[in-house]
Structure 1
Amino acid sequence: MSRLLLTALVAANVISALAVVYARHQHRQLFVQLSRLERARDELNIEFGRLQLEQATWAESNRIDQVARDRLGMKFPEGPEIVVVRP
């Protein structure tokens, strides 16, 4: 009986050790994946900041005014060119 108990305890100890090794291996893999995802997130945040800056530059009113004048030939109307329509 004690021999059977000893064998069961040794088997449980080996199984427990294998479970610890597996859990550590899985933890390392997940940590590496987390690090990759954090790096990708940081790169996306940097790109998003660049795109916001670019959008602000393109949407600036002076830029829009310059493009309207240069490319489209637009200008502000002079006094006699303004017509007021009243209901």
Structure 2
Amino acid sequence: MKPYQAISLTTLLLAVLGSAIGVVWVRHESRVLFIRLTELQNRRDSLNVEFGRLELEQATWADPSRIDRVARDQLHMVDPKPGDIELIRR
């Protein structure tokens, strides 16, 4: 085997090995990133469910009939008599 053939063969072998190592590393990184993406999507989905529950709870607490009932029962508030209402104009 001639010296330039040995160098060429060695260079090609190193290029193939480097390429193979690069492929393995990229596939590993891809798997790691895909797992992270799946975790983040699951977290997003759980946060969306929680947000929906919180919106429903907020709507329940802010219901006008509930506010009126709490104002009357717990705070003993009543509607003002027509004579107690004053109109103020600027």
TM-score higher than 0.5: yes
Unaligned stretches of 5+ in structure 2?
Answer: none
TM normalised by structure 2 equals: 0.89
Cα separation, partners in 2 of 1:13 and 1:85, compared to 1, 3 Å? closer
Partner of 1:30: 33
Partner of 1:63: 66
Deviation at 1:77, TM superposition (A): 1.7
> C-alpha separation between the residues in 1 aligned to 2:83 and 2:49?
51
> C-alpha separation between the residues in 2 aligned to 1:40 and 1:15?
37
The reply to whether residue 19 of structure 1 matches residue 22 of structure 2 is yes
> C-alpha separation between the residues in 1 aligned to 2:25 and 2:19?
10
Letter of the structure 2 residue corresponding to residue 13 of structure 1: V
Deviation at 1:86, TM superposition (A): 5.7
> C-alpha separation between the residues in 2 aligned to 1:33 and 1:86?
62
The reply to whether residue 10 of structure 1 matches residue 13 of structure 2 is yes
Partner of 1:77: 80
**Fraction of identical pairs, as percent:** 49
TM normalised by structure 1 equals: 0.92
User: Which stretches of structure 1, 4 residues or more, deviate above 6 A after TM superposition?
Assistant: none
Letter of the structure 2 residue corresponding to residue 53 of structure 1: L
Number of corresponding residues:
87
Letter of the structure 2 residue corresponding to residue 81 of structure 1: D
Cα separation, partners in 2 of 1:33 and 1:85, compared to 1, 3 Å? closer
